[in-house]
């Protein structure tokens, strides 16, 4: 154990209130997880509403789900899994000190995230065309209870997409830092915890895909 | 943390996630009656676990971080369990309006 009071050379990114880079990274990761727990609870409220209203209006849920495009939902699931792989590889590249690996994988992550949002745009446009958006223009031939399903569809996928936009913004900052050569085997906490956020957003979609797109497929 | 996973591990997790995505699409077409959603959630839970343990590296984190990461999901179970325990049992008392 090194003496923290002894004068010594240390990494420029080490804040004075930490003993070592390892301890600083541990604190960053723990802090990020505390934030992610609040995010779990944030999305948890929406999943709670989903469970409750699905149990009250099961038929509206099946009919609503059948209007979603399973192919586009599945495509976006694969796109997000690809982005999680490139994200994990970007963190690894920082750990092994590969600037090129960081830049390539961060750009790929941003590209996959953007593809996801573009697909989502076309899905939303179709919902507007088909009068599936809750409110005054909702298809009057449909059971009004289906508006609950579509309200939750738009809210859950909408806040998820908002998280994707924030994530892409974070990745642009990480790309800038990686470009400047800020990350090394000793210091990669920013890309590590941004990666935790990105993977969390992927996990939310892993649950949204079967619960929104696939529930009516066996009927 | 300072643990560096091999690329091979990341590719293995990636392929597993893609296969499980295909599996969830496949089982959605089978009629398991009331079990369709639990089966879909079990597959989604497995996928989420793979992402958390390996892509997020929680497996290599300190015990404190593991407990904090798990706590979010424990609170979710409390949220879902107590709310549904309320709604699903209201009719037992025979009061109007559920």
CATH of the domain at A110: 1.20.120.80
Task: Give a yes or no: residue A207 inside a domain.
Answer: yes
Residue B92, pLDDT > 60, answer yes
Residue A200, pLDDT > 80, answer yes
Task: Give a yes or no: residue A3 inside a domain.
Answer: no
Higher pLDDT, A156 or A216: A156
Among A25, A26, A29, the strongest candidate for a mutation testing the B interface, having the largest count of B CBs within 10 A, is: A29
Higher pLDDT, A199 or A3: A199
Which residues of A are less than 8 Å from B61 in CB distance?
A: 29
Task: Give a yes or no: residue A9 inside a domain.
Answer: no
Is the Cβ of B53 closer than 8 Å to some Cβ of chain A? no
Environment class of A156 (CB within 10 Å of its CB; exposed 0-12, middle 13-18, buried 19+):
buried
Q: Are A210 and B21 in contact (CB under 8 A)?
A: no
Which tens digit of pLDDT belongs to each residue from A13-25? 888 889 888 899 9
Residue A104 binned pLDDT confidence (cut-offs 50, 70, 90): very high
Of B36, B54, B62, Cβ closest to residue A218: B36
- pLDDT at residue A2, rounded to an integer: 54
Which tens digit of pLDDT belongs to each residue from B39-86? 999 999 999 999 999 999 999 999 999 999 999 999 999 999 999 999
CA–CA separation, B57 vs B50, rounded Å?
10
Provide the ipTM. 0.92
CA–CA separation, B88 vs B98, rounded Å?
9
Residue B94, pLDDT > 90, answer no
Domain range for A68 is 41-213
Residue A217 binned pLDDT confidence (cut-offs 50, 70, 90): confident
What average pLDDT score do residues A180-194 get?
Answer: 94
pTM, two decimal places: 0.92
Residue A85, pLDDT > 70, answer yes
Residue A140 binned pLDDT confidence (cut-offs 50, 70, 90): very high
Farthest-apart Cα atoms in chain A, separation: 77
Which residues of B are less than 8 Å from A74 in CB distance?
A: 21, 25
- pLDDT at residue B20, rounded to an integer: 97
The percent of residues above 90 in pLDDT, for chain B, comes to 79
CA–CA separation, A182 vs B98, rounded Å?
59
Residue A193, pLDDT > 60, answer yes
* Mean predicted lDDT score pLDDT of chain A: 93
Radius of gyration over every alpha carbon of chain A, rounded to an integer in angstroms? 21
Q: Are B51 and A203 in contact (CB under 8 A)?
A: yes
DSSP string, B38-91: HHHHHHHHHHHHHIIIIIS-GGGS-HHHHHHHHHHHHHHHHHHHHHHHHHHHGG
The number of domains in chain A is 1
């Amino acid at each position: 154990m090194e003496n923290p009071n002894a004068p010594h050379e240390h990494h420029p990114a080490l804040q004075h209130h930490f003993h070592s880079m390892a301890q600083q990274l541990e604190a960053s990761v723990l802090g990020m997880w505390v934030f992610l727990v609040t995010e779990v609870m944030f999305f948890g409220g929406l999943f709670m509403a989903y469970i409750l209203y699905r149990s009250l209006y099961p038929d509206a849920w099946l009919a609503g789900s059948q209007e979603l495009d399973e192919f586009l939902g599945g495509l976006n699931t694969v796109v997000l899994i690809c982005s999680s792989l490139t994200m994990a590889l970007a963190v690894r590249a920082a750990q092994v000190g590969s600037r090129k690996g960081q830049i390539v994988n961060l750009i790929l992550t941003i590209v996959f995230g953007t593809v996801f949002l573009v697909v989502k745009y076309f899905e939303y446009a179709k919902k507007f065309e088909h009068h599936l958006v809750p409110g005054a223009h909702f298809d009057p031939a449909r059971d009004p209870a289906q508006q609950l399903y579509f309200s939750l569809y738009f809210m859950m996928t909408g806040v998820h997409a908002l998280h994707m936009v924030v994530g892409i913004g974070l990745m642009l900052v990480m790309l800038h830092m990686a470009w400047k050569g800020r990350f090394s085997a000793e210091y990669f906490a920013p890309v590590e915890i941004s990666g935790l956020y990105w993977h969390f957003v992927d996990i939310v979609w892993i649950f949204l895909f079967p619960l929104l797109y696939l529930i009516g497929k066996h009927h | 943390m300072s643990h560096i996973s091999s690329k091979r591990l990341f590719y293995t997790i990636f392929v597993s996630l893609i296969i499980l995505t295909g599996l969830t699409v496949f089982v959605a077409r089978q009629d398991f009656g009331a079990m369709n959603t639990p089966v879909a959630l079990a597959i989604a839970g497995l996928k989420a676990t793979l992402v958390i343990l390996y892509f997020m590296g929680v497996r290599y984190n300190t015990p404190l971080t593991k407990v904090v990461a798990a706590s979010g999901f424990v609170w979710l179970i409390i949220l879902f369990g107590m709310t549904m325990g309320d709604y699903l049992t209201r009719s037992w008392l025979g009061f109007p309006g559920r």
